[in-house]
Amino acid sequence: MRIRKVILENIRSHKYTEVCFDDGITVISGRTGSGKSSILMAIEYALFGSESRIPKELLLRRRKLRGRVVLDVEHEGRLITIERVFVKEGKSILSKGFSFKVDGVEKLGMKRETDLNHQIALSLGFPEKAKDLFETTIYTKQDEIRKLLMMSKMERQRYIDEILQLSKYELVWENMREALRDLERDAKEIEGELKEEPFLREEMRRAEEEREKLKGELTELEERENKEKERYLKVSERFEKVREELERLEEKRRKYENAKSLVEDKERELKRLEEEISTLKKEIGGIKVEELDYDEVLREYTSLKERVSGYEERLKELEREYGEVLSMKAGAKCPLCKQEISEEHMGRIKEEYEKKREGLKKEKEEKERSLIEMQDKLEKARAAREKKKEKERKMNELKFKEDKLRELRSEVDSLRKEVEVSFDYEHLDEVKREYENLLEEKERVGREYERLRERTEGLRERLVELEERVKRLRERLEGLERSRKRLERLREILTLLSRLREDIRGIRNIVRNVFLGDFRAEFQKRFEEIRRTGEYIVDIKDDYEPVAYTAEGEEVPIASLSGGEKTSVALAYRLALSDIAAQLGGIMRSEVLLLDEPTTGFDEEDIKALPEVLRNIRHIPQIIIVTHEASLKEAADHKFEVEKVKGVSIVS
């Protein structure tokens, strides 16, 4: 696998960054905090997603709602493009989109992030859950080159055993001890269970005897119950017939007594109604209605009232007509006759005005007197109309009561016929006595039947309980039989596992020696490749501690080597471990090496020697280095500079 391009959109301090990679050594440099390491972090997140254990809160740029990482890698001649998108929803940041393309063709059918992770591992030849293997074989984080040399012997052995998967033998040996204890505990529990077998067999014998005895009692009791039930049904049948007859007679008695009482009530109502009709006829005869048409009188009154109002208007009009002339002075022209007004002329006009006004007043007074007379006539007509309405109302009431009287007489005649034949109270008493006797007998027989039924039901329930008990005991005994066979098998397994556990303890050391031989050879090969020439040869002790020897075979502590030699030892050790881990993980040898701040923990002499050491690594086609050390640029085939401008990382 080789990395060809990575795109960071709203990732940490990167607003939008696109970096392309070729084979050879690529150095990404910049000041601390400029955003260099974010590029390697984005590559790791693109490959592993949430399995990288990088919090999305750490990746997403502040105050942004959406982030995206796109990674192009070349593997076995194919270009693979991986894209992951995450968005902020409320306080959470969630994965909301991803894609996987091979040579530009998108792989469909991936609905979950785990589908994408599986496809990446399958296409790149990684095992599932390969994040730890990736960090061992490809991605070396800050301080990890020198860390292996600075560890204590115990820490180094534990760390490398874990990488070389040797710890699994120790783990299996320890787990088998717990497994053996669990199996031994299970065996003892089974032995304890088997001790109760004799007691269970005795309990089952007694339960079966009691069951057979109850079956005989139940058969006898069911026969008695059936006889008593038959007797109860016969008594109940007779009781129901008498009850129905009693209900029929009671209903007949109620109807008779109700009809008799109703006849008396209806006769009283009939007499009251006849008296009301007689009184109403007298009241109608006493109402005398005067023949006056109220509507006609009202029309005459209204017309006369309008005529009186007309005289008022005519008087006002006369005043308006003569008012202007009467207010004029002598010499003015009269608006009526168009002549010049003189005192004589004014006198004639006043006389004419007074004459007309008096005439109108007399006519008005005559009409007003007629109006008063007409008003009296209108009141009489109104009173006559009210009497007429009252008479009509009473006539309607009379008709209604006469109709009701006829209906009531017919109803009384019908009721009288119903009560002509008297009710037989003696027969009713006889039926009542028979009903009470049968009720007492029914209750007595019912109690006896219920007592037998309850006893029978109790025996059935007890029998069911015994059947269940026998069933449980039989199942328990069958279970004990299976436990006995399981105990025999457990004892065989315990013997086998005890022997196997001792064998595994010895296998671990054998496997470690095989791995150590491969590791030692790979370490020497990488050291020779990096140093090319030198006065030392290197080796690895049984506890994984690297050691140097002179040509004469004299051991030289690693701490006493020069800066370049120490750096070569550290890097060769790391590369050898990476190759061995790749072989054990079942993946191809790494074609890319990611180094994040590899000079952390190095002194000045070590740092100066690192460029030459890096250039001597020929078996890895692509090396990507993130560093703040300017001297490492000397080793670069390709250079990128990262700087932060107003909070945004810019790559140039």
The residues near 513 (Cβ < 8 Å, ≥ 6 apart) are none
Neighbours of 509 (CB within 10 A): 11
Place of tokens 């007859």: 245
Residue 462, Cβ density class (10 Å: 0-12 exposed, 13-18 middle, ≥19 buried): middle
pLDDT tens figures, 480-503: 888 888 888 888 888 787 777 777
Nearest to 6 by CA among 554, 642, 471: 642
Highest mean predicted confidence (pLDDT) among 33-37, 367-371, 558-562: 33-37
CB-based burial label for 88 (10 Å; 0-12, 13-18, 19+): middle
- φ, ψ of residue 142 in degrees (nearest 5): -55, 135
pLDDT tens for 585-627 read: 666 677 898 988 887 767 777 778 778 878 888 888 999 999 9
Residue 402 confidence (pLDDT): 83
Judged against a pLDDT cut of 70, whether residue 77 lies above it is answered with yes
pTM over 0.85: no
Expressed in angstroms, the distance from the first to the final Cα of the chain is 25
Residue 609 contacts residue 568 (beta carbons within 8 Å): yes
CA–CA distance, 98 with 112 (Å, rounded to integer): 9
Question: Of 94-103, 170-179, 476-485, 557-566, where does mean pLDDT reach its minimum?
Answer: 170-179
**Is residue 76 classed exposed, middle or buried when 0-12, 13-18 and 19+ CB atoms within 10 A define those classes?**
exposed
Tokens of residue 217, six digits: 């009692």
| 313-322, 466-475, 566-575: the lowest-pLDDT one | 313-322
Give the Cα separation of 87 and 96 in Å (integer).
Answer: 6
Considering the segment(s) 2-138+590-651 as one domain, its CATH architecture is 3-Layer(aba) Sandwich (3.40)
Residue 365 CA to residue 93 CA, distance in Å, equals 105
Q: What tokens were used for 379?
A: 């009141």
Residue with tokens 């004299």: 554
Where residue 325 falls among pLDDT bands split at 50, 70, 90? Answer: low
User: What does the pLDDT read at residue 27?
Assistant: 94
